[in-house]
């Protein structure tokens, strides 16, 4: 009986230490992968840190590349993302791909979110042409349509169509790390049959850049807030 128990203990130890190797990375075990991944998830959770310090004005001024502050409300996370790619395509607007150090990406077209990657339940792509044009011309009371193509859990994507209205929320002076900007605050209220989402944009009066925004991504991810610390 003692022997049995000792062996059972040994077995348990082995479960926690499944091991593989070889000249290439192929292996023969599903269990090992499961155990290792679960262990990885727990490690990753522990690694979550509290809000990182916001860079100072001096740090920002000396920095050559852009910097985007992203607040992920639902998960209580804040990160600073660097530009990975800037480009244009046949559609209007400048596309910027921002990335975090751990595989997350935010893609914006003229500051409007068009894709997320690496967050889970990502926004695959988005049709934001109506909002883009309305914000550019600062048209208020404008009714626009937008479509979010969202990643679903079963490896499909589905289009979520929203009807939105853009309204002014006044002119505001915005402070971003000790620097003040005069902005126009526009609010986009979007609905579909199931509910309502509100996007807020603070647009720089001098050049039309979206300096700060809070944008709704999808049902699972909720809202992301952005502050453009450095263009």
Partner 1 sequence: MPQAKALIVRGPSCSKNSRHKKKVEQDVGRTTSIGRWGTPLALAATISFVATPGPTQNVAVPGTPNFPVEDQPSLNFYGLPGLVDMPSAQPMPNGQLAVGISSFGGQTRTTLSFQFSPRISASFRYIGIQDWNDNGFGTYRDRSFDVRFLLSKETKRWPAITVGLQDFAGTGIYAGEYIVASKNFAQPLGLPGRMTVSAGLGWGRLGSSGSIGSISDRPSFDPGDTGGELSTDQWFRGDFAPFGGIEWQVNERFGLKLEYSSDAYEPETSRGVFERDSRINFGAEYQINRDVRLGAYYLYGSEFGVNAQIQFNPRYAPTPLTIAGPRPVIVRPSRESNPAAWSTGWADSQSAPATIRGAMAPELEEDGIRINALSVSAHTAELRIVNTRFGSDSIAIGRTARAMARVLPASVETFRITLVRSDLSVSTTTIQRRDLETLEYQPNAAGLLLARTGFDEASPDLPGAYVPDDLYPRFSWFVGPYLSPSYFDPDEPVRADAGIRASFKYNFAPGWEVSGEARQRIVGNVDDGRLSDSVLPRVRTNAVLYAQEGETTLENLYVSRVWKPADDVYARVTAGYLESMFGGVSTELLWKPVDSRLAIGAEANYVQQRDFDQLLGFQDYDVATGHLSAYYQFDGGYTGQVDVGRYLAGDVGATFTLSREFNNGWKVGGFFTLTDVSSEEFGEGSFDKGINLTIPISWFTGQPSTRSVSTTIRPVQRDGGARLSVPGRLYETVREGHRLNVSNDWSQVWE
Binding to partner 1 (CB under 8 A): which residues in 56-115? 59, 63-65, 67, 70, 72, 74-75, 77-87, 89-91, 95, 97, 99-105, 107, 109, 114-115
CB of 9 to partner 1, least distance (A): 10
Q: Which of 1, 31, 173, 180 binds partner 1 (CB under 8 A)?
A: 31
Is the separation of the CB atoms in 65 and 230 below 8 Å?
yes
Which are the contacts of 163, defined by CB distance < 8 A and separation ≥ 6?
Answer: 143, 145, 190, 191, 192
How far is the CA of 207 from the CAs of 23, 112, 182, in angstroms?
57, 16, 11
Within 104-163, the residues that bind partner 1 by CB under 8 A are 104-105, 107, 109, 114-115, 117-122, 124-129, 147, 149, 151-160, 162
Report if residue 33 touches partner 1, rule: CB under 8 A. Answer: yes
Q: Which is nearer to partner 1, 75 or 136 (CB)?
A: 75
Q: What is the rounded CA–CA span in Å between residue 226 and residue 68?
A: 7
Q: How far is the CB of 152 from partner 1 (least distance, A)?
A: 7
Q: Interaction with partner 1 in 162-201: which residues (CB under 8 A)? A: 162, 190-197
Scanning 165-173, 178-186, 204-212, 215-223 for contacts with partner 1 by CB under 8 A, the matching segment is 215-223
Rounded CA-CA distance 207/110 in Å is: 12
Please state, in angstroms and rounded to a whole number, the distance separating the CA atoms of residues 147 and 131: 11
Check binding of 4 to partner 1 (CB under 8 A).
yes
User: Which is closer to partner 1, CB of 149 or CB of 208?
Assistant: 149
Query: Applying CB under 8 A, which of residues 2, 43, 170, 207 lies at the interface with partner 1?
Result: 43
Q: How far apart are the C-alpha atoms of 229 and 59, rounded to whole Å?
A: 11
User: Which DSSP category does 118 fall into?
Assistant: S
27: DSSP letter: -
């Amino acid at each position: 009986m003692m022997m049995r128990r000792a062996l059972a203990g040994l077995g348990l130890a082995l479960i926690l230490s499944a091991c593989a190797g070889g000249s290439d990375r192929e292996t023969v075990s599903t269990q090992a992968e499961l155990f290792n991944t679960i262990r990885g998830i727990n490690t990753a959770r522990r690694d979550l840190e509290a809000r990182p310090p916001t860079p100072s004005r001096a740090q920002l001024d000396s920095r050559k590349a852009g910097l985007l502050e992203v607040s992920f409300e639902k998960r209580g996370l804040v990160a600073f993302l660097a530009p990975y790619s800037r480009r244009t395509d046949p559609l209007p607007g400048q596309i910027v791909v921002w990335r975090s150090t751990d595989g997350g990406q935010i893609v914006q077209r003229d500051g409007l979110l068009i894709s997320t990657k690496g967050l889970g339940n990502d926004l695959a792509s988005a049709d934001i042409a109506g909002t883009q044009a309305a914000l550019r011309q600062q048209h208020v009371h404008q009714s626009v349509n937008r479509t979010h193509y969202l990643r679903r859990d079963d490896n499909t994507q589905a289009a979520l169509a929203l009807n939105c209205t853009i309204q002014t929320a006044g002119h505001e002076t915005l402070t971003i790390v000790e620097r003040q900007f005069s902005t126009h605050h526009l609010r986009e209220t979007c609905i579909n049959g199931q509910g309502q989402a509100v996007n807020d944009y603070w647009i720089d009066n001098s050049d039309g850049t979206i300096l700060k925004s809070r944008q709704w991504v999808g049902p699972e991810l909720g809202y992301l807030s952005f502050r453009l610390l450095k263009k």
